[in-house]
Each structure stands twice: as structure tokens, then as C-alpha cells.
Amino acid sequence: MSVDASRSAGGGPAPAAAPDVKTQAQGATIATGTEAKRLSIDDLLYLIRYNPDDRGHLRVINDDICREKCVKYGYACTRFCPAQVYKWEENHVSVSWEGCIECGACRIGCPFANIDWKYPRGGFGVSFKNG
């Protein structure tokens, strides 16, 4: 699957390739012998069960700060976010909050405290099957 093309920047509709509300994907990889397939972040996100809200809970506060100050970190959040919520798109960081797994690394790890961070509203967001 490819989510990249359909992933929206900040607050748009849920990406078409993301799992539906409260459906759960089957396992992502069947390895043959010892040759396990390397999983991409999109493969991994597809395994997660979400109850997506229609409003975003994450927001970049000031795009200028990303553009002007975060180059030397390679746009930090786009690298360390384990769910690749943040992506560099030409001149700003896009926020696919639908795929957030609510670890909060972006809130603490953004070198410029430039992310307006909240948990999703009660009952929404990620809903782990195993934990």
C-alpha cells in the first residue's frame, strides 16, 4: 500500500489507505524461512487500530520556526516520530495526526517547543489490541 500520496496535511480527511474505524488489519508479514520482509512505516501503521476523530489534536505552531531553525536537525519531528505523523513538504511540516500513536515524543523532542500537543478527545485516537 502507499499512504504517502493520500496523506493529508494537518486536519484534512482521513487518508484513504488508513484502516477504517475500529477495523483491524490482519498481520503484515509472513516470512518464509528466515527471510522476513522488512516492514515500512506504512506497513506498520496499517496494523494499528484507530478510532479517528474528525478534528486534529496536533499542530505546528509556527511554520517559520521549522523553516528557519530546524534545518540543522533535519526537521527533527519528521525523523523521530515513530508513526511518521510529521513530514517535510517543500516548505512546511505536514501533520497526519490520524496515524498518531500518542507517545508524545514530538511534544518533548521538538527542539523549539513548536508543537501544540494534546491527546485526542476521550475515546478517540489509537486503541491498542495488545498493548
Partner 1 sequence: MSGNERFDCIVVGAGPAGTAAALTLARAGVKVVLFERGEFPGAKNVMGGVLYSKTLNKLVPGFWKEAPLERPVIEQNLWMLSSDSVAKVGYRSPRFVPGHAAEGGVPDEGPANAFTVLRAKFDRWFAQKAVDAGALLITETAVEDLLWENGKVVGVQTGRDDGKVYADAVIVTAGLHALNSLIPKMADGRLGIKPEHVALAVKQIIALPKEKIEDRFNLPAGMGATIELVGASTSGLTGISFIYTNADSISIGAGAMLSDYVKSGKHPYDVIEDFKAHPAIKPLIAGGEVKEYLGHLIPEGGYNAVPKLYGDGFMVAGDSAMLVNSVHREGSNLAMESGRLAAETFIKAKERKDYSARSFAAYRDALDKSFVLKDLRKYRGIQHYLDSHPQIFLSYPEMVSEAAFRFLNVDEAPKAEHEKMMVQAVTNRRSMMGLLSDLWAGWRATR
Residues in contact with partner 1 by the rule CB under 8 A: 27-36, 38-41, 43-45, 47-48, 51, 73-74, 76, 79-80, 82-84, 101-105, 107-109, 111, 113, 119, 121-123, 125-131
Cell numbers found for residue 72:
540543522
Cβ proximity to partner 1: between 32 and 91 the closer is 32
CB of 22 to partner 1, least distance (A): 9
The full length of the chain comes to 131
Cell numbers found for residue 16:
484513504
Cβ proximity to partner 1: between 35 and 90 the closer is 35
Cβ proximity to partner 1: between 10 and 53 the closer is 53
- What one-character-per-residue DSSP string does 50-67 give? EE--SS-SEEES-HHHHH
CB of 5 to partner 1, least distance (A): 19
CB of 123 to partner 1, least distance (A): 3
Strand ranges (DSSP E) for 24-110? 50-51, 58-60, 86-89, 92-95
Exposure class string for 37-55: b at 16+ Cβ within 10 A, else e: eeeeebebbbebebebeee
Cβ proximity to partner 1: between 13 and 111 the closer is 111
- Torsion sign over Cα 61, 16, 79, 130: positive
CB of 73 to partner 1, least distance (A): 7
